[in-house]
């Protein structure tokens, strides 16, 4: 269980809160149970270190308030839109007999012992977190899925995951899937037979030869007969011009 030091705050205005934040602190509120809401503040540096953990909002924290211990559950954290630093945090008191709804992360272990993954299978994670209804005194840190001996085509449903006592998924009425081990998505195409490849090359060579012949036939130079006909016509014209006109 993580521990976080907190102090009571008596801020009344936004200016007081801004001063508190400028001093490296984050204001917060503790609520829940039969006690009144309590205004506190915590160190921004310490809180930021805890926020780096994926399951921060599902782990109970021992909050030390001026020497007194209070188990709380972080419920909401607000961040500055520019600096992305925490500006406010809400804590829920842990009361015996109470229940909370939480998103619990799913952890996969023994991936190196899965024959399906060794053969190129792909682990398709449908739900990285599962919403559970938990007693405040029995909140799991994570849900564990063991991949030891798992082959391609197998799936993991919520009923196959061991849950703590009195912990139940909020989705009722169906055994939903958490993850599946699917076949590889990339399939290698078979190589073409050698004969087919040679036939393709031969066809390509014949086509290239035909194209070359067609290009030679389409040249701008006219046939020889056409040239000779034009020369004959030109000679006839010259003969007519050379003859004297009859009077």
Is the domain of 77 the same as that of 21?
yes
Kindly state whether residue 156 falls inside one of the protein's structural domains: yes
CB 30 within 8 A of CB 93: yes
Kindly state whether residue 232 falls inside one of the protein's structural domains: no
Is the domain of 90 the same as that of 116?
no
Q: Tens digits of per-residue pLDDT, 80-131?
A: 999 999 999 999 988 888 888 999 999 999 999 999 999 999 999 999 999 9
Is the domain of 47 the same as that of 118?
no
Is the domain of 10 the same as that of 87?
yes
Residue 241 has pLDDT above 80, yes or no: no
CATH code assigned at 147: 2.170.120.20
Residue 3 has pLDDT above 50, yes or no: yes
How many domains is the chain built from?
2
Is the domain of 63 the same as that of 120?
no
- The whole-number pLDDT of residue 242 equals 46
Residue 234 has pLDDT above 50, yes or no: no
pLDDT grade for 47, boundaries at 50, 70 and 90: very high
Residue 211 has pLDDT above 90, yes or no: no
Q: With H, G, I as helix, E, B as strand and everything else as coil, classify residue 206.
A: helix
Residue with the larger pLDDT of the pair 187 and 128: 128
Q: With H, G, I as helix, E, B as strand and everything else as coil, classify residue 225.
A: helix
Is the domain of 76 the same as that of 13?
yes
Strands (E), the chain: 2-8, 25-31, 38-43, 61-65, 68-79, 86-93, 99-109, 122-125, 129-135, 143-146, 155-157, 168-169, 177-182
Angle at 108 between CA 48 and CA 58, to 5 degrees: 35
What is the residue-averaged pLDDT of the chain?
80
Is the domain of 170 the same as that of 156?
yes
CB neighbour class for 57 (10 Å; exposed up to 12, middle 13-18, buried from 19): middle
Residue 46 has pLDDT above 60, yes or no: yes
Predicted TM-score (pTM) of the model is 0.61
Domain housing 31 = 2-94
Kindly state whether residue 28 falls inside one of the protein's structural domains: yes
* Backbone dihedral region for residue 32 (phi beyond 0: left; psi -120 to 50: alpha; all else: beta): left
Q: Choose among 94, 67, 87: nearest CA to 8.
A: 67
The average pLDDT across 205-212 equals 49
- The whole-number pLDDT of residue 237 equals 47
pLDDT grade for 198, boundaries at 50, 70 and 90: low
CB 136 within 8 A of CB 98: yes
- The whole-number pLDDT of residue 24 equals 94
- The whole-number pLDDT of residue 139 equals 86
- CB neighbours of residue 108 within 10 Å: 18
User: What span, in angstroms and rounded, lies between the C-alpha atoms of 158 and 46?
Assistant: 35
């Amino acid at each position: 269980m993580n521990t976080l030091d907190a102090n009571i705050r008596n801020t009344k205005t936004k200016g007081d809160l801004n001063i508190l934040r400028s001093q490296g602190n984050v204001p917060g509120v503790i609520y829940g149970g039969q006690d009144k809401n309590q205004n506190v503040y915590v160190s921004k540096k310490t809180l930021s270190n805890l926020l780096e953990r994926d399951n921060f909002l599902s782990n109970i924290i021992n909050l030390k308030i001026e020497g007194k211990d209070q188990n709380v559950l972080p419920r909401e954290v607000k961040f500055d839109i520019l600096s992305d630093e925490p500006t406010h945090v809400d804590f829920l008191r842990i009361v015996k007999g109470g229940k909370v709804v939480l998103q619990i992360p799913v952890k996969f272990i023994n991936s190196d012992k899965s024959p399906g993954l060794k053969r190129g299978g792909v682990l398709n994670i449908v739900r990285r977190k599962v919403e559970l209804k938990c007693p405040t005194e029995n909140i799991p840190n994570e849900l564990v899925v063991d991949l030891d001996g798992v082959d391609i085509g197998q799936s993991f449903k919520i009923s196959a995951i061991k849950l703590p006592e009195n912990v139940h998924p909020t989705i009722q009425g169906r055994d939903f899937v958490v993850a599946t081990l699917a076949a590889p998505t990339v399939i290698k195409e078979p190589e073409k037979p050698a004969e087919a490849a040679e036939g393709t090359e031969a066809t390509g060579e014949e086509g290239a030869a035909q194209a070359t012949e067609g290009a030679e036939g389409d040249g701008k130079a006219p046939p020889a007969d056409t040239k000779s006909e034009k020369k004959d016509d030109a000679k006839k014209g010259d003969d007519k011009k050379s003859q004297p006109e009859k009077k």
